[in-house]
Homo-oligomer: A and B are copies of this chain.
């Protein structure tokens, strides 16, 4: 396979949230985001084995409402700040609009995870979940 080839993402679940549109969503989870439910599709339920209340996870989502053709933004949507490459920001607009969210598990019920806090809106596809690691020191 050529390195230039595209890859296909299969969503593994979906966010269920009281946040209904991106205008309501805080820009990062720790800025007042609510609890939310992650519905994992049945065929991926076995991948949840061992996840329990109290575990911290890194959730990866596909920010399906985000534009993919914008390469520079003013960070924080602040018009006084200089244009910055999206790779130097956490802006949702980017060539592959993947969201990273650090959450804590509140409860697990079948293939549903109740988590907090999560700034993604209702209906956002979930594409991966990993156990959270504190970032190691970099020399």
Are A87 and B51 CB-contacts (below 8 A) given A30-B136, A100-B58?
A: yes
Are the CB atoms of A131 and B89 closer together than 8 Å? Answer: yes
- How many A residues have CB within 8 A of the partner chain? 67
Distance A29 CA – B50 CA, assembled complex (angstroms): 24
Give 1 or 0 for each of A39-61: 1 = CB within 8 Å of chain B CB.
Answer: 01100101111110001111010
Are A135 and B132 CB-contacts (below 8 A) given A3-B14, A10-B6, A47-B72?
A: yes
Q: How many copies does the complex hold?
A: 2
Q: How far is the CB of A100 from chain B (nearest CB, A)?
A: 7
Distance A6 CA – B1 CA, assembled complex (angstroms): 20
Distance A125 CA – B1 CA, assembled complex (angstroms): 11
Are the CB atoms of B7 and A62 closer together than 8 Å? Answer: yes
Q: Which of A54-105 contact B (CB under 8 A)?
A: 55-58, 60, 62, 64, 71-72, 82-90, 94-96, 98, 100, 102-104
